[in-house]
Structure 1
């Protein structure tokens, strides 16, 4: 039976379920549209729990903190949320793909007001066990953390706009940053890089320019593929990195290459060595002989023979194909397997190992701060630790030699 309360205090009532008696609370609230109507919440296991929830709701009403929580499904809300985001096309495409594959399929039908930290934990554990879209097992901790970050951001906006009172992801346990660490990076030694570039020059000089440019500047793949001749100043021996090209995939509509800003949104200037300048001069002359259109200011430096951007993923596969051929010719131990992106890591690692200031390396890479460079390159290149130990011992030996005898 309902316990009698004064008007405006709300009420608590009991109802029967297969699991036993449960309680619901009911109170009047002013909706955002100005109408006044009853709010009902069910599922409390005892009267004490229901009374506590009712007091909290009434307190929020009195202080103006009450939120008319949404019963909209999570999928419907996320679709609206994504439509309102100002993101780079490639980032938006990634968000849409991950929402579709890893959120909508599992918890998309859940009403916003029924999402709990416990339910979100269960969802993440399921992704870890069997979340792959192809049914071949679970997702990595890194991917689960990435998808969780998307959901957390979306639900934070739901709280901000009054659709939720609290963010349920605040009460959940995603994979830690340590568990979600990216795969260990690989970097070539100077000798290994020189062997590969020397082989590539003889095998395919057109693509060798691309591998050389990436290794000698530390540019990201998308930045190199977006480079235009107007960005290259061969007289001053420098290039301006202003944009990046990325692959955007649309469900049911194929894919497209889209130019946008660099990863940090900031342009930068990268100085070139004399050898790289000379290679770019030869590359420009060869392309100009094919067609004047290929060396206009707006022409893409590393474009295909029709002047179009190269497909980023095919570009990476082509590097791996060249690397395998180089390994057959030179030996696996002389040019170990790395990814295309590891040319960037090689650039940074070799410079840092040789004592180049972190700030200089950070600026060449286009990191937002030198702190990021230090964090990414905490590892030491083979031999760096030994060099540091030798230097320290030398400092002490020199100090001892100059110290007056006791």
Structure 2
């Protein structure tokens, strides 16, 4: 008879076994709600290891405080632990960085010193939302946009909803908070270049104002996102069939451990929508690409003919200089070039579905809602043609 003994699971690990009906591994532990009452917490996964990992991650977040006392934790500690153990790895690194920035810049300074049990709707309303709404810069202008307030609020709401779901608090105090009305007058309006402005801009791109003039022209001719255009390499160009292979982008360099921005930008081998596509080009872009391919070494980025990614911040700043040289007085952003391409395609008779595919939108509604900008002439001409004769 063997002297070996069956290893006992650590206390609190509960049970874990395969469920033949669900065809999944299921782990169960005894947890406690905010009022101290026990309940069975279940975790499911395709493998035993995955299921155990989900259980352990949940326990890591909750075992630091005695059962039934987690509502006594300070929000600053709770939300940072939630970010590390729940959100990290479940969202894109760039999104995680934005969440973390909202937490450190807005949430913790305003309500982080309160315990979960002391958080109330009125406190969140006055200390977070209303203070951000009323904040002014040195010139007396609103310091935060509606989207900035909404993003910070949504991050807090998501954290506290998790606390409700796992039984750490009974109600989410964010549920009754009223966000301020969006200030339409101060909302950044998307403004595609007019035909005259586009011609002036292209002329300015021949004057040597910026080292990135090639990139600007390519975006205007193809409608690519800035990061996609800067991620292109010679192997991504198919001159024979007239298309670019879009499968990557340039993103800010974010430390995967801390979730904070590091120096520079990096190559990401996937697009914003996680879908590869072909972006077709016409004669103007073909000429542009042929000339660039002659001087760009293999393995380098077409945007700067270097193995180091373009700094997208500098790309945006240089765009303003080209606009100034072109005598364009409208306050355009670099992203407006992409909108200009989309608007021109629609005005030329291209159907919205084709435009959406060229731009790489996951939903045609995005194209119709945000990228189709009828001009005043378009609207006037449409009404002139309206008759019942």
Offset at residue 112 of structure 1 (A): 1.6
Determine if contact 2:346/2:372 at 8 Å carries over to the other structure. Answer: no
Cα deviation 1:8-58 (Å, max 9, x = unaligned)? xxxxxxxxxxxxxxxxxxx98444699xxxxxxxxxxxxxxxxxxxxxxxx
Determine if contact 1:73/1:109 at 8 Å carries over to the other structure. Answer: yes
From 387, 390, 394, the counterpart of 2:384: 390
* Counterparts of 2:272 and 2:185, CA distance in 1: 21
Write out aligned runs for 1:90-169 (5 A): 90-122=94-126, 123-130=128-135, 138-169=143-174
* Counterparts of 2:72 and 2:35, CA distance in 1: 18
Structure 1 residue 276 corresponds to structure 2 residue 285: yes
* Counterparts of 1:207 and 1:28, CA distance in 2: 60
Aligned residue for 1:368, secondary structure, equals: coil
Offset at residue 370 of structure 1 (A): 1.0
Gaps of 5+ in 2: 1-33, 42-66
Q: 1:326 to 1:150 in 2, by over 3 A?
A: same
RMSD of aligned residue pairs (Cα, Å): 3.2
Q: 1:198 to 1:253 in 2, by over 3 A?
A: closer
Offset at residue 118 of structure 1 (A): 1.5
Find the counterpart in structure 2 of residue 259 from structure 1.
267
Offset at residue 205 of structure 1 (A): 8.5
Find the counterpart in structure 1 of residue 44 from structure 2.
none
Structure 1 residue 73 corresponds to structure 2 residue 74: yes
Offset at residue 369 of structure 1 (A): 0.9
Find the counterpart in structure 2 of residue 40 from structure 1.
none
Gaps of 5+ in 1: 1-26, 35-65, 288-293, 401-406
* TM, length-normalised to structure 2: 0.74
* Counterparts of 1:302 and 1:121, CA distance in 2: 46
Determine if contact 1:229/1:300 at 8 Å carries over to the other structure. Answer: yes
Cα deviation 1:231-274 (Å, max 9, x = unaligned)? 22121110122122122466887434233332222222111102
Cα deviation 1:39-92 (Å, max 9, x = unaligned)? xxxxxxxxxxxxxxxxxxxxxxxxxxx987522111111111211322222221
Offset at residue 311 of structure 1 (A): 0.4
* Counterparts of 1:378 and 1:213, CA distance in 2: 20
Find the counterpart in structure 2 of residue 5 from structure 1.
none
Q: How many residues align?
A: 323
Q: 1:248 to 1:95 in 2, by over 3 A?
A: farther
Offset at residue 144 of structure 1 (A): 0.5
